């Protein structure tokens, strides 16, 4: 099902997951990111989208997270709509859903029902708080999930905790762990013939991301005091510095040999105290601040390009596209007129192809129904059970 071409003549996604069919119940945050990752690796991801207005504020055809999908719009408030999804699930390998606990069951497409239809199905569930616990039914967003796990705490002294967009929770602790769990369950299902539920939550994943910090705490190498740790801005050789043009460079000279090279390139060798003396850190920081402030970011970028001092420019999203290393590796590509990250990781024998640009919601409704052998396509469209090519102006009420 993942091979060949679609109605628009675009090649299906290719990669090591070619032949795997995923049904994605449309959501926000980690669910579409997980679907994108699986699709980028070659899975045929069918996104079942809601009949009402879009749930994302991003224009569907420019929403990078929707790339490489086939889209079908189904009214899940009707028994007939649920029946359509059941037919998709019966022939799928994976289902992804990101509802609050119990919602999928109330819709009639919870794990028990889906495993009746397809015992080998991997049922991937994504929530913020998890399926159990006193907060399981509560609403939330990335910032709250990472806050309670301690992952939001690290930062410079005297500053308030601030969210790194929604990269740490939704995508790092959420989608990444969901995909990892789904792939593990797929591998096991291939041996046992039995599917299972993957319970992924952002709090679980975000907590897992802090594992190294807990190890450091146990070794008396990390404290709960903000800005008092070597990786949270306390150490002057692991921080960012302003340049003369109002931009910044990042310094990560953790190891002594890299730090020695940093001082040598900056002309500070023998001019600052021993870094082993913590009380001297303010003096070292002041010296680094003064030197970096004397030249532009581009000057320091060029000066450190061939150095192991671990100095890099702090770039904006737009500037990152033009960095020579990222440009040579084609880390960013253009798809459908939108610049975006290329599929990652890379595979030597079964590489991912160029992603397909996202289409309007429901652009593949008829194609999907016919592919899955659902004969009553015209009737389903006429009765408002499924919809084709919804835009902001022709979307039915939610």
The pLDDT of residue 167 is: 93
Active-site residue (options: 115, 141, 299, 323)? 141
The pLDDT of residue 47 is: 97
Q: Cα–Cα distances in Å, from 232 out to 38, 131, 252, 260?
A: 33, 32, 11, 21
Q: Is 325 a catalytic residue?
A: no
pLDDT over 80 (residue 115): yes
Which residues neighbour 331 within 8 Å (Cβ) at sequence distance 6 or greater? Answer: 341, 342
**What's the DSSP call for residue 5?**
B
Which tens digits make up the pLDDT trace of 130-156? 999 999 999 999 999 999 999 988 887
Query: Contact at 8 Å (CB) between 268 and 280?
Result: no
Which tens digits make up the pLDDT trace of 38-89? 999 999 999 999 987 778 888 999 999 999 999 999 999 999 999 999 999 9
Taken in order 234, 236, 260, 328, the sign of the CA dihedral is positive
- Out of 3.30.450.20, 3.40.50.720, 3.40.50.150, 3.40.50.10540, the CATH code matching 21-209+333-387 is 3.40.50.10540
7 burial (CB, 10 Å; 0-12 / 13-18 / 19+) is: exposed
For the record, the structure tokens of 170 come out as: 């939704």
Domain ranges of the chain: 21-209+333-387, 238-330
- Out of 3.30.1540.10, 1.10.10.350, 3.30.450.20, 2.40.30.10, the CATH code matching 238-330 is 3.30.1540.10
Torsion of CA 158, 163, 165, 166, to 10 degrees: 160
The answer, as to whether pTM is greater than 0.85, is yes
Helix residue ranges, H only, 118-209: 142-148, 176-192, 202-209
Q: Is 274 a catalytic residue?
A: no
Which tens digits make up the pLDDT trace of 85-97? 999 999 999 999 9
Active-site residue (options: 40, 93, 170, 199)? 170
Query: Contact at 8 Å (CB) between 386 and 82?
Result: no
Mean pLDDT estimate for the chain: 93
pLDDT over 80 (residue 355): yes
The pLDDT of residue 194 is: 98
Which tens digits make up the pLDDT trace of 286-320? 999 999 999 999 999 999 999 999 999 999 999 99
């Amino acid at each position: 099902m993942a091979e060949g071409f679609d109605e628009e003549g675009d090649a299906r996604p290719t990669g090591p997951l070619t032949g795997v069919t995923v049904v994605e119940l449309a959501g926000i945050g980690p669910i579409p990111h997980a679907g994108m990752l699986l699709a980028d690796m070659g899975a045929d991801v069918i996104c079942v989208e809601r009949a009402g207005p879009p749930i994302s504020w991003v224009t569907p055809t420019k929403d990078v997270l929707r790339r490489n999908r086939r889209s079908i719009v189904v009214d899940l408030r009707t028994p007939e709509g649920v029946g359509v999804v059941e037919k998709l699930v019966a022939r799928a390998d994976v289902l992804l859903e990101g509802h609050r606990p119990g919602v999928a069951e109330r819709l009639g497409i919870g794990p028990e029902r889906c495993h009746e239809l397809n015992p080998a199905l991997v049922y991937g569930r994504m929530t913020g708080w998890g399926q159990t616990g006193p907060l399981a039914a509560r609403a939330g967003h990335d910032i709250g999930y990472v806050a309670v796990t301690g992952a939001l705490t690290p930062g410079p002294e005297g500053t308030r905790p601030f969210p790194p967009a929604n990269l740490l929770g939704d995508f790092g602790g959420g989608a990444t762990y969901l995909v990892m769990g789904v792939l593990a369950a797929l591998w096991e299902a291939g041996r046992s013939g039995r599917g299972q539920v993957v319970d992924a939550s952002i709090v679980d994943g975000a907590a897992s991301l802090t594992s190294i910090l807990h190890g450091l705490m146990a070794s008396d190498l990390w404290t709960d005091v903000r800005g008092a740790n070597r990786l949270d801005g306390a150490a002057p050789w692991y921080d960012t510095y302003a340049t003369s043009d109002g931009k910044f460079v990042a310094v990560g000279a953790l190891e002594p040999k890299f730090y020695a090279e940093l001082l040598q390139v900056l002309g500070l060798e023998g001019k600052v105290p021993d870094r082993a003396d913590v009380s001297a850190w303010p003096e070292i920081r002041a010296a680094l601040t003064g030197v970096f402030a004397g030249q532009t970011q581009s000057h320091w970028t060029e000066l450190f390009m061939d150095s192991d001092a671990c100095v890099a420019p702090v770039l904006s999203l737009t500037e990152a596209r033009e960095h020579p290393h990222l440009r040579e590796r084609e880390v960013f590509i253009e798809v459908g007129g939108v610049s975006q990250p290329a599929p990652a990781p890379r595979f030597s024998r079964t590489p991912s192809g160029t992603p397909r640009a996202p289409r309007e919601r429901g652009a593949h409704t008829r194609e999907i129904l016919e592919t899955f052998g659902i004969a009553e396509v015209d009737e389903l469209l006429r009765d408002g059970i499924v919809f084709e090519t919804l835009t902001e102006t022709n979307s039915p009420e939610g």
